[in-house]
Amino acid sequence: MEDIKIPVHVAIIMDGNGRWAKEHSLPRNEGHRKGTKVLEQIIKHANGLGIKYLTVYAFSTENWRRPKSEIDGLLKLFKRYLDEHIKKAHKENIRFRALGDIWSDRIPDELREKILLLENMTKDKKGLCFNMAFNYGGRDEMIRACKKMINDIMLKNIPYDNINEELFENYLDTAGQSDPDLMIRTSGEIRTSNFLPWQLTYSEFYFTTCLWPEFTPQEFDKAIADYNIRKRRFGKSE
């Protein structure tokens, strides 16, 4: 991986846990459990490569449509992740941030408290910033951002003409972060499923048929290598 351009921000749609479980005659939640292990490896790898932001889609606003047993399993895995990282936060250099509506009534209080605690414990960490998108939906994020912006506009008497892209971005869950350079989706689905519609506008997309529980640092490197041969123009001519 010499002379390679490392993207500043990588976003991942971790998809295919259910199909992986099915292929191995296991319950869906076993696929999610294996997926969490893979995630841990990818976070470490991304941090080692010097990537600044890693954003993963862990649970969408639409995923509440799944059976209660599966949702409970996913909430439990998230809680376990938080517990483990709260315990070792002092010896890690990774910053944790949650994207999505963590204030929703559907998020158990205990989980919200752990999210806020880990965010706070890691807020000054200088390594990778790891964004976990949980109860995240891009449309929901934009509506929540609009509400916060309108509230500020009224309270602070901000002139209507001051509304522009820069101002709006301050109200998104990713405020202060650069947009993803590369977006990876596993499992062969070629869609974004309500993931970061504002921020992915100019990202490079990489789709692989690899199922998330089988994703490896080597697969991640393949995506980075592919990113390196892309020509980004941002609307300009050569």
Catalytic residues: 15, 63
Q: Is the dihedral of CA 72, 76, 77, 78 positive or negative?
A: positive
Which residues on neighbouring strands pair with residue 129, listed in sequence order?
53, 95
Q: Is 174 exposed, middle or buried (0-12, 13-18, 19+ CB in 10 A)?
A: buried
- Parallel/antiparallel/unpaired status of strands 9-13 and 182-185: parallel
Q: Is 16 in the site for ligand IPE (CB under 6 A)?
A: yes
Binding residue for ligand IPE (CB under 6 A) from 7, 9, 10, 14? 14
Interface with ligand IPE in residues 150-209 (CB under 6 A): 187, 189, 191, 193
Cβ proximity of 215 and 38 under 8 Å:
yes
Q: Please name which of 227, 28, 79, 57 lies closest in space to residue 141, comparing C-alpha atoms.
A: 57
Smaller CB separation from ligand IPE, 177 or 186: 186
- Stretches 10-18, 38-46, 104-112, 114-122: which one binds ligand IPE (CB under 6 A)? 10-18
Give 149 or 186: the residue with its C-beta nearer to ligand IPE: 186
| 179: region left, alpha or beta (phi > 0 left; psi from -120 to 50 alpha) | beta
**Closest listed residue to residue 45, CA positions, set 221, 217, 218:** 217
Q: Least distance from C-beta 14 to ligand IPE, angstroms? A: 5
Smallest distance, ligand IPE to C-beta of residue 171, A = 23
Per-residue binding string, Mg ion, 7-46, x by CB under 5 A, is: --------x-------------------------------
Which of 74/89 has CB closer to ligand IPE?
74
Interacting residue with ligand IPE among 17, 174, 199, 203 (CB under 6 A): 17
Check binding of 63 to ligand IPE (CB under 6 A): yes
Name residue 55's beta-bridge partners: 11, 131
The verdict on 101 binding Mg ion (CB under 5 A) reads no
Q: What are phi and psi of 76, to 5 degrees?
A: -65, -40
With CB under 6 A as the contact rule, the residue among 58, 118, 183, 210 that binds ligand IPE is: 58
| Nearest distance, CB of residue 122 and Mg ion, angstroms | 29
Q: Tell me which of Mg ion, ligand IPE, none is bound by residue 57, counting a contact when its beta carbon lies within the kind-specific cut-off of 5 to 8 angstroms.
A: ligand IPE
Other CB atoms within a 10 A radius of the CB of residue 156 amount to 8
Kindly report each contact of residues 118-122 with a partner whose C-beta sits within 8 Å and lies 24 or more positions away, as own/partner.
118/82, 118/85, 118/86, 118/89, 121/86, 121/89, 121/90, 122/89, 122/92, 122/94, 122/95, 122/96
Among ligand IPE, Mg ion, none, residue 74 binds (CB under 5-8 Å by kind)? ligand IPE
Tell me whether residue 85 or residue 185 sits nearer to ligand IPE (CB atom): 185
